[in-house]
Amino acid sequence: MSTPVLPKLVGQRVKRREDPRLIQGLGTYVDDIKIAGMQHLAFKRSDVAHGRIVSIDVSVAQGMEGVEAVYTGAQVAEFLAPMPIGTPFPSPAHYAIATDVVRFTGEPVAVVVAADRYLARDAADAIVVRYETLPAVIDTELAMTGKPAQIHKDFPNNLAVPLVPSGTGVPPDGSSVDDTAVNAAFAAAEVVISQRMLNHRLAPTAMEARGVIAHYEPGRTAMTIWSSTQNPHILRTMIAAMNGMGQDQVRAIAPEVGGGFGAKINIYAEEYVAAAISKKLGLPIKWIEDRSEAFVATIHGRDILCYIDLAAKRDGTVLGMKMRLIADIGAYNMLLTAAIPTLTMLMANATYDIPAIRATLTEVFTNKTPTDAYRGAGRPEATYFVERAMDMLARELNMDPAEVRRKNFIPKDKFPFQTQMGAIYDSGDYEKALDRALKNAKWPELKAQRDAAKAQGRLVGLGLAMYVEVCGIGPSASLPTGGWEHSQVTIERDGRISATTGASPHGQGNETTFAQMLADQFGVPFEHVTILHGDTSVVKQGIGTFGSRSQAVGGTALHMAGIKVKAKMAKFAAAMMEANEEDLVFENGKIFVKGAPAKGKTFADVSNYAYIPVPLPPGLEPGLSEEAFFEPSNNTYPFGCHISMLEIDRDTGEPRLLKLVAVDDAGNLINPLIVEGQIHGGLAQGIGQALIEEVVYNSDGQLVTGSFMDYAIPRATDFPRFELDSTVTPTPVNPLGAKGVGEAGTLGSTPSIVSAAVDALSEFGVKHIDMMLRPEKLWRIIQGGKA
Amino acid sequence: VIPTTFDYHRASSVEDAIKKLQSTGGKLLAGGHSLVPLMKLRLSEPAALIDIARIPGLSGIKERDGQIEIGAATVHHDVASSSVLRQKCPMVSDAAGEIGDPQVRNRGTLGGSLAHSDPSADYPAVMLALEAGVHITGPGGSRVVKASDFFQDLFTVDLASDEIITGVQFAPVKSAAYAKLHQRASHYAIVGVAVALDVKNGGIQSARVGLTGASSHAIRLANVEQALAGQPLSAKTIESAAQLAGKDLKEINADIHASESYRRAMIPVFTRRALEGAAARA
């Protein structure tokens, strides 16, 4: 008779344990939480893009039944300081509610506190604001000339960050610029590709918009804040600091979070205002964002313009690159706004061994919603610019787009690789990913299919893009919050396992993957492991989930805490069995001396003994609970290759994606099913950017795409079945060898699709098309016009 | 959805709904897919909503005396999946199946779409091509308005504030088809063309062509209809008739999704596609 053997779960396609509750409506989101006496906020928002506030009449609103209080921006500024940012760049004061000038449509100008949401909104609608309208600054490059207006007093020509150089011949502090190598590369060039490209503005549009409840309890002098956030610990830090409280006095809770995509890293005006008003009034305060607000009040993503020049030999060898980046960051700096485009510079080297690169970055204020991290955050932009330029080079030289890339790859034996941009790529084998993608796509046959379709008069094109991104962020030098993660693993008295993680999953499936890891580590059933997250009173320390870091950094902290508690548990078990702890094996719910499972103790028995240790083994404290902080020595650099096939309707210009082949290398995979889900989501957003998603402002600064009636988000029916595969190149920077995968799908897909569109329309002599690929834009090319 | 305050009434019958319309000055609520988005934006602030979605007999698809009747409260999904329509007049099911997305199709109603008369809605073009009768009941009794008289202007139809659309009725046409250029966010029609052909012995006896998306409201394309009538059903006829589509329209809608000139160019394209679809069913 043998006991059933527990399967090893790491590397298996375990179904997400989060899903049953989420798809049955059993999750608890911020808006599901109600507290007796809770008051609701509604913000009066600016309907002009740029204007001086002449007067605000709150008299009617203040007199309405159920209205507790109304505050203008100036009144809020009396008890709430301007909002802090997390980057070292100079920044204009950014009040949570505008005090004198409004700088984007949707900026708050007043706030109502009322007994319910409907009354609050009615009262906000009753506030009358008069503006002296100022010219709206919408065009990015025009803004750089200070026209038609200067948005912030101390920032002439609307330059938030004046030109920052980086790359070859520039020391890390940017203090000097030596262009010798770059100039030599361009002097030696046999061919130069030059193109202006826009990586346009997007709205993150999480399924659950933002929401917050702040509950200050005067009796306890304690604040609890629930928020739909990616990082409750950062929220706690900021809320404590802004309210003159200690971090011990603030508890931040991220309940179920319905998507973030980077937009919920920020600590927003509404969170600061809710907390400050709760403290001022001693009442629980709730604010739930509606979808119309989400389009203007939640950060936007991307919006980086690039002038790129690529110098090459006629055999395809790239000699040098120049990349002039101009980021349109909107009206204010948010938490990480200024840092996002620096990641575009950092990744300008892409997957290639380019001998000389000069990148420069300028960040520009405009009268638009501020930008910040959106899935990929700076890296899709770099990938897009470089991959489009590589594709243009291949077209110019009449080379296969795969071969021009192969010719320039950083060879696999050169890792760790110091790039021109100051990054140290941890590990990579780009040729392997390329070859796998070419094999899976049946590249020669695919090209023959395209040619056959073209011969029939169809407009079919192929696109290929490589990517490398920076993930697993990272060492503390790379984040203002510190770059570690924390975990505590506790073996409960009954032998079940509770583990906390400072990563704060909101769709990443860490409750599943982390339980897989601990189940394997301790040889216990998966069902016996619970992963706790998202509450600063439960999870002692943490940073949060962003930058594809939860597995690589958070997962490693969990693993390290597990090692510690396992070592202690082995000591208890050794004492019980009078054995050497080094000889013990944890398997199938038992701990036993290797080779003698029948004589072992159950996991539960050893756990119980650790909590009622009679006798207490010498040198041991009771209990089984250990914690670990893990800080990686470097970021990770996952990579891959995406290939797409696109057909464009000759009559209408409508693009249709026929095929998408992706090979992603995220290092070791804990759960390939979850990885595929992450890739699917990333691809959807990457393809969405290329084909249907675009934030559009009119020249007055009104957001034209302010609802789902005009802002398209991708649906399953927009896609073919994705053909996924992975290569595995582990990272040396963490013991799991895992690199991170949450953002990868947004990197390669976008340029591959635009390149496919250019290929499809090659008969019309087009060399580049700016996204998004609106049917009308493509139709005009087909009609003989210009892109 | 945070609308202004309103009273909610559920009507038990059409007569009850009319009484409540008169007593409250409110608006009818069926699927809520035209009205509620406006209320969400507070562009519409009705004092009362009269819910007609559950009035017995107001929804359903029937065939009677060679005519098809569709109740006003019938949701798009039921139209899209109706076996009677699929068999007798598949254009209507096709058009319903291209409205919005599954959530919209499971809530939105035929009557709501017609009464709202969004310039980009799909049903109006289809009803024009079928020359459907729109059945309307008001305090003074019932009346039937031809589709071509019903749609009058931007969001304006021949319907008084105390009247209710109870349904539509039309003679089914097998050789009919709808072709549409989707706006990718809303999935309304940038341009939508519905064509119904009367074909005998390989010749087009008569044709009706409805166009949506291009102008303030859905319209018939009389010049295309005339070019088709009496001609043999052939690729050449289709091509030359389609080329006329929209040529006589002075004003064409424009928005971020499609400029005036692009929309204008798409009208012949989708007219041709609808004609080809109808011809394939002849």
Residues of B in contact with A696 (CB under 8 A): 256
Is the CB of B61 inside 8 Å of chain A's CB atoms? no
Q: Which chain A residues are Cβ-neighbours of B184 within 8 angstroms?
A: 691-692, 712
Q: Are the Cβ atoms of A708 and B259 closer than 8 angstroms?
A: no
Reply yes or no on whether the pLDDT at A6 is more than 90. Answer: no
Q: Residue A41: helix, strand or coil by DSSP?
A: strand
Q: What is the mean pLDDT of residues B272-276?
A: 98
Sheet containing B67-71: order of strands: B61-64, B67-71, B164-170, B133-138, B141-146
pLDDT of residue A179: 97
Cβ separation of A779 and B5 shorter than 8 Å? Answer: no
CA distance B146 to B127: 9
Q: Are B2 and A692 in contact (CB < 8 Å)?
A: no
Q: What CA–CA distances, in Å, run from A376 to A35, A302, A741? A: 37, 9, 10
Residue A1 has pLDDT above 60, yes or no: no
Q: Is B86 in a helix, a strand, or coil?
A: helix
Alpha helices in A578-624 (DSSP H): 603-611
ipTM given for this complex: 0.96
Q: Collect all residues of chain A within an 8 Å Cβ-Cβ radius of residue B4.
A: 122
Report whether A45 contacts A551 (CB < 8 A): no
Q: What is the pLDDT of residues A317-369, one digit of tens each?
A: 999 999 999 999 999 999 999 999 999 999 999 999 999 999 999 999 999 99
Determine whether the interchain pair B185/A710 forms a contact, defined as Cβ–Cβ distance below 8 Å: yes
If one compares A174 and A201, the residue with the highest pLDDT of the two is A201
Token digits of residue A698: 């009119």
How close, in Å, is residue B272 to chain A by CA atoms? 11
pLDDT digit string, tens, across residues A618-666: 999 999 999 999 999 999 999 999 999 999 999 999 999 999 999 999 9
pLDDT of residue A4: 64
% of chain A surpassing 70 pLDDT: 99
Q: Strands of A191-202's sheet, edge to edge?
A: A159-167, A357-365, A318-330, A301-312, A191-202
Q: What is the pLDDT of residues B53-85, one digit of tens each?
A: 999 999 999 999 999 999 999 999 999 999 999
Q: Which residues of A touch B271 (CB under 8 A)?
A: none
Instruction: Select the residue of B1, B42, B258 nearest A776 (Cβ to Cβ).
Output: B258
Phi, psi of A59 (to 5 degrees): -60, -45
User: Are B186 and A715 in contact (CB < 8 Å)?
Assistant: no
Consecutive H or E run containing A75 = helix A73-77
Does A292 sit within 8 Å of B4, measured CB to CB? no
Give CA–CA dist A307/A305, Å, rounded. 7
Q: Is A534 exposed, middle or buried (0-12, 13-18, 19+ CB in 10 A)?
A: buried
**A211-217, strands of its sheet edge to edge:** A67-72, A108-114, A39-45, A285-288, A211-217, A222-227, A250-253
Cross-chain CB nearest to B186 (options A292, A709, A776): A709
List, for residues B147-190, the tens digit of each pLDDT value. 999 999 999 999 999 999 999 999 999 999 999 999 999 999 99
Amino acid identity of residue A430, one-letter, is: Y
Q: Rounded distance, CA A412 to CA A428, Å?
A: 6
Residue A377 has pLDDT above 70, yes or no: yes
Distances (CA, A) of A85 to A82, A236, A337, B182: 10, 15, 8, 42
Residue A220 has pLDDT above 80, yes or no: yes
Helices (H), B48-167: 76-80, 83-88, 90-97, 102-107, 110-116, 123-130, 147-150
CB nearest to A704's CB, from B5, B184, B256: B256
Smallest Cα distance from A370 to chain B, Å: 22
Q: How many CB pairs under 8 A join A and B?
A: 51
- CA of B32 to nearest chain A CA: how many angstroms apart? 15
Query: Taking chain B, what is the end-to-end CA distance rounded to the nearest angstrom?
Result: 46
Which residue from B minimizes the CA distance to A709?
Answer: B186
The nearest CA of chain B is from the CA of A713 a distance in Å of 7
How far off is chain A from B119, nearest CA to CA, in Å? 14
Give buried/exposed letters for B126-149 (b at 16+ CB in 10 A, else e).
bbbbbbbbbbbbbeeeeeebebbe
The residues facing A232 across adjacent strands are none
List the structure tokens of A779: 């139709």
Instruction: Report chain A residues whose CB lies below 8 A from the CB of B239.
Output: none
pLDDT-wise least confident of A1-10, A608-617, B141-150:
A1-10
Considering CB atoms only, which of B4, B257, B269 is closest to A652? B269
CA B27 – CA B21 distance, rounded (Å): 7
- Kindly report the number of other CB atoms within 10 A of residue A154's CB atom: 9
> Which residue in the block uniquely carries the two structure tokens 């620096």?
A342
Burial class (CB in 10 A: 0-12, 13-18, 19+), A427: buried
Closest partner CB to B2 (pick from A121, A705, A708):
A121
Extract the tokens encoding A304: 């980086």
B256/A contact by beta carbon, under 8 A: yes
Out of A117, A121, A692, whose CB is closest to B184? Answer: A692
Average pLDDT in the A757-782 region? 97
Across the range A79-96, mean pLDDT stands at 96
Q: Mean pLDDT over residues A706-713, rounded? A: 96
Mean pLDDT within A542-553: 95
SS3 A94: coil
pTM listed for this prediction: 0.97
Does the pLDDT of residue A116 top 70, yes or no? Answer: yes
Residue-wise pLDDT tens digits, A443-495: 999 999 999 999 999 999 999 999 999 999 989 988 889 999 999 999 999 99
- pLDDT beyond 80 at A74: yes
Give the span between the Cα atoms of A494 and A473, in whole angstroms: 36
DSSP state at residue A272: H
Q: What is the mean pLDDT of chain A?
A: 97
**Number of C-beta neighbours around residue B83 at 10 A:** 9
Whether residue A652 and residue B42 make contact (CB cut-off 8 A), yes or no, is no
Residue A615, preceding bond cis, omega within 30 degrees? yes
Q: Which amino acid is at B248?
A: D
Nearest by CB to A118, from B5, B101, B188: name it: B5
| Chain B, window 32-51: residues with a beta carbon less than 8 angstroms from a chain A beta carbon | 37, 40-42
DSSP letters for A411-476: PGGG-SEE-TTS-EE----HHHHHHHHHHHHTHHHHHHHHHHHHHTT-EEEEEEEEEE--BS---G
Q: What is the pLDDT of residue A93?
A: 97
d(CA B52, CA A566) in angstroms, rounded, equals: 65
| Residue of A651, A696, A710 with shortest CB distance to B269 | A651
Spatial contact of A129 and A110, defined as CB atoms under 8 Å apart: yes
- pLDDT the model gives residue A474: 83
Q: Is A712's CB within 8 Å of B262's CB?
A: no
pLDDT at A787 over 50: no
Per-residue pLDDT averaged across B227-232, rounded?
Answer: 98
Contact A710 B256 (CB under 8 A): yes
pLDDT at A3: 56
Q: Are A663 and A437 in contact (CB under 8 A)?
A: yes
Sorting pLDDT into bands at 50, 70 and 90, what band is A5? confident
Helices in A95-145 by DSSP H: which ranges?
A: 117-125, 140-143
Residue A602 has pLDDT above 50, yes or no: yes
CB contact under 8 A, A709 and B37: yes
Residue of B nearest to A122 (CA): B4
Tell me what percent of the residues of chain A surpass a pLDDT of 90.
97
Closest CA to A407 of A399, A415, A419, A396: A399
Is the bond preceding residue A223 a cis peptide, omega within 30 degrees?
no
Q: Which residues pair with A165 in a beta bridge?
A: A360
A254-291: pLDDT as tens digits: 999 999 999 999 999 999 999 999 999 999 999 999 99
